[in-house]
Each structure stands twice: as C-alpha cells, then as structure tokens.
Amino acid sequence: MKLIIVESPTKVKSFNKIFKDKDITVFATKGHIRDLPRKKLAIDIENNFKPEYEDIKEKKAVIKELKQLGKQADEIILATDPDREGESISYHTAYYLGFIKEDWPEFKVQDENKKLKRMVFYEITEAELKKALQQAGSLRTHLVKAQSCRRILDRLVGYKISPLLWKKIGKRWLSAGRVQTVALRLVVERQKEIDNFESETYFNVYADFKSSKTKFSAQLTKIKDTDIEVKKVLNLFAGEYTYKKTKLTEENIDSELNRLKANQYKVERIQIRLSKRQPPSPLNTSLLQQLCNRLFGYSTKYTMRLAQQLYEKGLITYHRTDSFNLSDEFIKQAKNFINQNYGRTYLNEETKVYKTKSRLAQEAHEAIRPTNLNNDPASLADLNPAEKKVYQLIYLRALATQFKPAEFEILKIYIGSNDKDLFVTTQERLVFDGYLKLYPNTPVKKDKFLDLQEGSILDLLNLNKEEKQTLPPPAYTEASLIKALEEKGIGRPSTYAPIVSLIQDKRYVEKTDGVLKPSMLGTAISDYLSTGFKDIFELDFTAKMEEDLDKIANGEEDIIGVIEKFYKPLEKDLEKNQNDQTHINVEKETDKKCPKCGKKLLLRFSKYGKFYGCSGFPDCKYIEPYKEYVANVSCPKCNGKIIIRKTAKGRKFYGCENYPNCDFSSWKLPKNNDNS
C-alpha cells in the first residue's frame, strides 16, 4: 500500500479523484500534529536553544491512526504544502512514523529502505500530481530548519517580553510578537503622523474658454511661466509620503484671479500622442490580499481561506507565493486560448516580465494562476459567491498578461496668456481595447476631441477657484499595511494574514470602515516596546532576520548563529527593562458618572474589548459595557440609537441599543429614516 499524507480533508477528496488506485490511501493530518507547548518557553537556551516539542493534545487520535497506517504502508509519500510550514508538518509526521532522529540542531532522516518520499507540487491537477509523485525526493530539511528558527525566535519574544508587558500594564492576556509588534508600530506611527499633520489651504483654478467653434474648460498649471504645483515630503516611519498643493493661497488668490481675468489667451500648442496601458501583473499573495480587501472588503484571513479552498479544489496554483513568474506551459496555454477565443489581434506575441517589489522574493516558483483556463469562472457552479469572486480575479489577471496593451490617443491643449500663464486641458479616447476586452465594465473615456487650431484666439468666459486642503498621509488599511510589510521585507507570504489578524484580535488595532487605527492599548504597547526594545523592533533589524531565515532555507546560514544574532540584543534589552518599576496606565477619563458612587467612569480595556469602570475601584466595582454609537442613524424598528456590536469571532454588525427589548440587527448599516 502507498500512503499519501496531506494536511486537509478537502485535499484528500481532490487526491482521491485523481488517484483512483485501490492500493493508494490518502490520509489528512488536519494541520499540525506536533508543536511547542503553549504554557512554557520550551526553548533550552543553555543547550543551543533546543526546542522541546510535544504532541498536540487534540491530535492524539490522528497520531494513533497515522502510526497504524504507517506500519501497513510499503511506501509513504509526504504531500503537504510546498512552503516551510508544509515542510515542517511533513517533518513532524515523519517523526511519528519513526524516520527522524532528533539531534539538535541537525535534522536527520533515517530511511535505509527508502520507504519515505516527499512530493512537491504547486497545483492539484492530475498531470502535476502524477509528475510530482514520479519525481518524489527526500524531505527538505533546510526548510524545516528555517521554520523551526522562526518559531524559536517568535517564542523567545513572546515568552520573554510578554511578562514585562503584564507587569507594566497589569493585564496578563497581553502578548508581544517579533513581527506583529513591528506591524503595530507601522499603524501607530502612521496615526501619529496623521494626528500631528497641519493642514494648509490652497486653491486650484479652472477657466472656461470659448473659441469660434466650441466651449471647454482647462486647469491653470503655470503662473507667469512658473509651475503652480508644490510638492512636499513627509518623513514617515515606513518611508516617505509626498503631498501636493499649489502656490495659490488665501493671501494671493483674489489678486491672481483679477490679473488672470485681464489677460488675453490663445492656443499655444496642440499635442496628440498614442499611449499604451499595459496589462496588470498576475497575482502573488500580497497583491491578492490587497485587491480582495480593496475590491470586496474581505479581510486578509478570509481571503486566504478562500484561496486555500480554491487551491485544494485544484482550481488555482499554490496561493502562498511572492513571485510574479508564470510557467512557460501556462503562457503557451494562455496564448492559444486568446488566439482561439479572441483572435490573433488581441494576442501579445511578446512575453512580458513582471517584477516584484519584495526585498527577497523566492518562496515559490510561480504567481497565483488558474490551473486550467477552460475552467471559466462563469461555468463553475460548485463555487460559492465569495470563492467565485476570488477565482475570477485570479483567472482574469493571469490571462490578461498575454493580451496586447490597450491603446489610447491622448490630446493635450496648452493655452497661454500674454503674462505667460498656462492652462492645460486633456482628453482621451480609446483606440484599441486590448486586455480591457476581459473587463467590459471598466469605465473608459471616449471623448470627442476638441476642434481647435494652434494660434487660435480664445475668449475667457469664466474663472472658477476650487478651495482644497492638504491631506495627511492615509491611515493604513489591511491592504496598504500588507503592501508596506512586503516592500520593507517584513514577514513572508504565509505570515501576512496572521500578522494583520492578530493585531486586531488582540485589540491593539481597531478596524473602522475599512481603516486600521491603533487603540489606546495598542499605542501604549507600541511606544513601550519600540523604546524599551529598540534593537529588535526596528524595521531593518526585522527585515534582516527574514533574510537570514531565507538563507537558512537555502542552506547558506547556520540556525544557531541566526538565533544568537537575535538573542544577544534581546537579552541586553531584557536586562535593561527587568528592573523598571514604572506602570503604564491605559485608561481614559470620561464625562460619565458612576451611578453607584458618583465618581467619574474611566474607559478601560479587557481582553474582550473596551468597557467603563469606576475610578473609585477597588472600593467601587461598578462596570458597564462600552457602546460604540453610529451618529445620525436610528433603529428602523423602535427609533433607538444604533450601536456597533461584534460576534464571538469578532465580526462587526449593527444592533439597537435597546436590545433585548428590540431585536433589530444587521450586517449592513441601516439607512436613516429621514434619508431613506
């Protein structure tokens, strides 16, 4: 009997559809079966940081069945996911089957009879799985080392620093994380930039002109031959942010308008050029998460769950990747598909290469793509609506890469004055739709070009000023936070979703209308950790550790050396902070009065969220739940106020403040009675 071991029951179903041989048994571990214990450090620091693994209690029955099947099997094939985490699951599976001799820091496989094999694949299709099975090799222990190193580094931070947080803030449910703290810092520092930003007023100016044939509008771009636009740069924690304003201010706008009104205008130059809009890149993990968040409002965690389902159903390639590469086989298939279904006119004979912005992209060999272009999104009846949206996004982005660019004609008309002021108007019309053929609902300008001649004298009909305010850098969304993490080399494709989810689950960051903002608790934790443990929570230090993990995975770096490189500054910072007795008070005074003793209520935090507690505690133990009201919206049933509630899993919904007397609840914000 051949025993093939995978992680999930869905994979079992997909494998069984392909391997119909009665001599093959497919078994699912249902995730990890061995891990570090939850309630102790389990890292022997004095013995080269040796980890102490144990059975996961909930997996006792799985382990027992696995061992029984292993004894019956003539050949055992490990078929977990191709990344480091998947390799780690395979390693611990092999341990229970008796193939591993643990001699830390070495990872030795003992298999004299060559009974154990590891098959690596990036899509669950018949051709790919049979090829992977035929080419099955040995366990990739360098990847296991890299994953073990990550777990050890994260465990050292969590179990060494978290107790200091408990002492500082007085809450034993708090935790520090090696990468999660850096992600939290990004959100906190961005919010500080927003809060400290000083807005400035400026103006844009538009003119309505008339020629003998037509009327049109144009924007002022130069005053007396000098550019009107000013660019300013803010230095942010995660990089620079540029915002634009104009030289027209409240002090000079009226005088400039009067001067412009007195001028004479003519068409100085007409420029028509052909512009090509290139197809967008295929998707990697980061980009998939960003687009699903932006387009559909999906959280990163939900997006990855949907992608996992599509992968295990055999519809897409492996979804944890930082690569934009596409295989030669897929490119050939896509070109044939376009030629047959859209015609040679749309086929790009060249093959475009897309580059990632990630500092060290190497996790997987391909971007996320459909496994078969004949699996058209519209034809897949067994997908739920959310799965279909994600699949269609992946499908179209991959197919579009082999289309020709869309082509536009761009008309620019430059209107000058006798004072050398310059107004510009721009028009655009589609010449060839190219890859936009795949996106029929994309809004495209099809302007009828203005009929003007160079040198034409124009009449100024009107001047309009538009008052604007300079805007601070935008608050992070899940999408933009992941983009920042990727560009700075923080985390890897398999870690983005857990990082972004964790800082919200811990209530360090709150998501409101899609925007991430730090809570009082999150800000306090970030400020303490970033000053007290400056060495290990810097962007560059964290990114360098990611690079070292990659080097371990490639067999270029020693695991003990990397851990020591991390632990020495951690140990130094721990010693410095160990005797610090100052307390961080995370609470906010409110105008509400305690109904029991009359003292002020304070806004406080627990692991379940915000609540009001009496400032007279412990003498007065009065508490009441915190209610987040939605302004200007009333309950459609009883006209009470609408408040934001959360399910046990943290999903936000809207309910009436008068519950349980009023049972109104909705996932969507109700329209106000006055506006409906």
* 3-class DSSP string for 292-345: HHHHHCCCHHHHHHHHHHHHHCCCEECCCCCCCCCCHHHHHHHHHHHHHHCCHH
CA distance 70 to 111: 13
β-partners of residue 655 are 643, 665
Classified as helix, coil or strand, 129 is: helix
Helix 141-169 and helix 84-96, axial crossing angle in degrees, nearest 10: 100
3-state secondary structure of 265: strand
Enter the tokens of residue 606: 């627990």
Around Cβ 450, how many Cβ atoms within 10 Å?
A: 17
Exposure of 39 by Cβ count < 10 A (0-12 exposed, 13-18 middle, 19+ buried)?
exposed
For the question of residue 391 being annotated catalytic, the response is no
Torsion of CA 590, 591, 596, 598, to 10 degrees: 120
User: Where do we find the tokens 């930082």?
Assistant: 322
Q: Which two tokens stand for residue 280?
A: 């967008």
With beta carbons less than 8 A apart as the criterion, state whether 256 and 463 touch: no
How far is 242 from 233, CA to CA, in rounded Å?
A: 4
Alpha helix (H) residue ranges in 556-618: 559-578
Helix, strand, coil shares of the chain, percent, nearest 5, are 35, 25, 40
Cβ-Cβ contacts under 8 Å for 72 (sequence gap 6 or more): 1, 3
Residue among 318, 391, 435, 496 flagged as catalytic:
318
Under 8 Å between Cβ of 175 and 158: yes
**What are 461's two structure tokens?**
């009909």
Write out the catalytic residue numbers: 318
